[in-house]
A and B are shown apart, each in its own frame.
Chain A
Amino acid sequence: MTASIYHESSRIITEHVTELAQKVFDLQMQQNPEMMKGYTPYQKQKCLRDESHNLYYLAEALSLDSVKLWTNYLSWLKTLLVSLGVKNQQTAEHFQIMLQVLEANLPLSELPKVREMIGIAVTYFQDEDTQEYHGLDPQNPRYDQARNYQNMLLSAQKRKAADYILSMATGTQEIREIYLNILQPVQRDIGLLWHTNKISVAQEHYCTGVTQMVISLLYPKLFDAGPKDYRMISACVSGELHEIGLRMVTDIMEIDGWNTTFLGANMPDEGILETILEKKADLLAISVTFPLNLHKAESLINLIKSDALASKTKIMVGGYPFLADDSLWQKIGADAYAADASLANSVARNLIQRPA
């Protein structure tokens, strides 16, 4: 593990998260009994779960010494809570209570950093400004087509949406364009629509399911059996379910001349290691969307680097947290990081062709 100077606080929070969440909850009840009065047992349970979530994020940010990761989470949380009607002041007070609990449970030497992090949260939630949903980027060269496709998804016209994309897929370069300028931005926007409470989680899953189906229908046109110079394996770490972004990156790498194997979501470390050795992979691409999975990516990287044979395989990472903090890939021990699917090929080739 890449030890940060705040590793001890991170460890204590992670190991005692249930107990700490309960303390925050109890203190909140004590200070604001009116607020919690009408809560059902289920709502209380949900409240404790959200509490644990906040603590886990704080622990991850402390572990990686990343203020950027923390502020990125706060921004995400604020958008979500505002869309659900939770007052910012209420959340700010909640973080103050969290600090009181942590001050009583963490080592004194690490408290200044914890105070700094929670101070950022309090200030952030005292400010009433919120991120607004702006929709798809009009600068996108395929803006109209992306908007049409998204409208079809949101109006549950899966067959029409699939036919629409397939009618454009005349060759591999065209498919590359479809991935980069239609499917990728639409999926990101669908995520934002859910995040800002404009669509339900069921709609979000439906849209993702249709895009996955569309990708499968593109396969007969995507694979060309042309010569491939390098072998790549791609996987999401154990617990990571967001695989569609990585699937698109992997397919684009295939178009760009890589012989790819897509292992998918929630892969156990042993399975990934086994496949690296079996396929003699030149590159492993790891995707992390959920920041709490960063430490799992780190332990996977450590496992691969400690294996005599697998350690020759280069490791490239990508995904949401690396966009929030572009120093994270080095902190978890990866060899490179690609900001998006269009850059993955050049980043990976530079990495492999670089003299050892």
Chain B
Amino acid sequence: MKHSSIVITGTEVQKLKELILDGLEKAGLQIGEDYTIHLEETDPQEQLEIPKEISSYYFNEMSQLNNDLTNMQRELAKANAGLNKLVEIRNRFVGMAAHDLRNPIGIIRSFSEYLIAEFKTSTNTDTLEVAKIIHSTAIFMQRLVDGILDVSSMQSGTVVLNTQKVDLNQLFEEIVNVNKILAKAHEIKILYLGLDAPVLAEIDHVKIRQVINNLINNSVKYSPDGSTITCRSILHDACFHFYVQDEGPGIAKEDQSVIFEPFKRLSNNEGRQKSVGLGLSIAKNIISAHGGDIWVESEAGHGAKFCFSLPINIKSD
């Protein structure tokens, strides 16, 4: 019979030996006759020893990786500081340029109003038409410049809120009512579904009015004549929610993520008025400054629903 041996190495050799002997006995094999067992106890630290050249390779690789990570982190922070500086310079420049343009545009607008009044009684209708074009262009440019000033001041982090306690329900109803009159020209009906009780909250009501006006104006701009726009206030999770829903062409999915960025042109831009492309960006900045959120829900061809929330300490009377 072939004589075999078992070599046990490790840190628990006695325990292993007992287990193996049990097994051999059960199998009817006799130690010393069929098998021999050699025990070799090793130190746990020695067992963990990795050849020097391998550990040195990993050591160098790991420390290099760690260096690269730290270095990248520093360089990223430096690059970020550089970019912030550039954005700050850009905003300051844009703000200054827009501010300097405001006065001459105001003068053009005033003079064009004077010319329109002068030519109204004149038989020269072409001249009146030219004056009207100058006037409407000046108004557009003024809106554009005002928008740029708002955006640049907001992006510089200088959104100053003059908050005071107001009843949101009453304020929103009042704003919607003003817009109802303006929408009538296009036979568009605006509905307001308010809350039953007053809701007091600390907000900058001038800026929030600007947001709601902008959202309703946008809806009017894109709604077909004779359609309905629904505005609604809701209390949800200690937040005040407001939405404006229209029956217009809606907003394509790819546009929804960029619609709040300044000067973004949408793939389906068929509004009845020329847009400066800053209103929604300003609205987002104002709502963010209040600690709220603004978003759009829409499917192309099925209208759009613009919503915002204001996380406020609501006190119901």
Q: Are A264 and B67 in contact (CB under 8 A)?
A: yes
Q: Are A223 and B66 in contact (CB under 8 A)?
A: no
A262 to B68, CA, bound (A): 10
Q: Are B80 and A263 in contact (CB under 8 A)?
A: no
Q: Which of A114-122, A214-222, A306-314, A337-345 contacts B (4 or more CB under 8 A)?
A: A214-222
Task: Find chain A residues with CB under 8 A from B64 CB.
Answer: 266
A241 to B138, CA, bound (A): 67
Which of B60, B67, B84 counts the most A-chain CB atoms under 10 A from its CB?
B67
Q: Beyond A262-B70, A263-B71, is A241–B63 a contact (Cβ under 8 Å)?
A: yes
Q: Is A163 an interface residue (CB 8 A)?
A: no
A 30-50 binary contact with B (CB < 8 Å = 1; else 0): 000000000011100100000
Q: How large is the interface on A (under 10, 10 to 19, 20 to 34, 35 or more residues)?
A: 20 to 34
Contact of A42 among B46, B73, B81 (CB under 8 A): B46
A216 to B45, CA, bound (A): 35
Task: Find chain A residues with CB under 8 A from B43 CB.
Answer: 40-42
Q: Are A265 and B66 in contact (CB under 8 A)?
A: yes
Q: Are B77 and A220 in contact (CB under 8 A)?
A: yes
Q: Are B71 and A267 in contact (CB under 8 A)?
A: no
Q: Is A104 an interface residue (CB 8 A)?
A: no
Contact of B85 among A219, A225, A247, A263 (CB under 8 A): A225
The dominant DSSP class at the B interface is helix
Task: Find chain A residues with CB under 8 A from B66 CB.
Answer: 264-265
Task: Find chain B residues with CB under 8 A from A262 CB.
Answer: 70-71, 74
Task: Find chain A residues with CB under 8 A from B45 CB.
Answer: 42, 45
Q: Is B23 an interface residue (CB 8 A)?
A: no
Q: Are B77 and A223 in contact (CB under 8 A)?
A: yes
Task: Find chain B residues with CB under 8 A from A40 CB.
Answer: 43
Q: Is A150 an interface residue (CB 8 A)?
A: no
Question: Which of A119-172 touch B at CB < 8 Å?
Answer: none
The dominant DSSP class at the A interface is mixed
Q: Are A219 and B77 in contact (CB under 8 A)?
A: yes
Q: Is B82 an interface residue (CB 8 A)?
A: yes
Task: Find chain A residues with CB under 8 A from B85 CB.
Answer: 224-225
Q: Is A79 an interface residue (CB 8 A)?
A: no
CB distance from A160 to the nearest CB of B (A): 22
A24 to B1, CA, bound (A): 52
Q: Is A261 an interface residue (CB 8 A)?
A: yes
In the complex, what residue of chain A is closest to B76 when comparing beta carbons?
A: A219
A 254-269 binary contact with B (CB < 8 Å = 1; else 0): 0000001111111100
A318 to B81, CA, bound (A): 29
Task: Find chain A residues with CB under 8 A from B67 CB.
Answer: 243, 263-267
A263 to B70, CA, bound (A): 8
Q: Are A216 and B73 in contact (CB under 8 A)?
A: yes
Q: Is B186 an interface residue (CB 8 A)?
A: no
Known: A260-B74, A262-B71, A267-B67. 20 other contacts (CB 8 A): A41-B43, A41-B46, A42-B46, A45-B45, A45-B46, A216-B70, A219-B74, A219-B77, A220-B77, A222-B77, A223-B80, A225-B78, A225-B81, A225-B85, A241-B63, A261-B71, A262-B70, A264-B66, A265-B63, A266-B60
The 4 closest A-B pairs by CB, nearest first: A264-B67, A219-B77, A223-B81, A266-B63
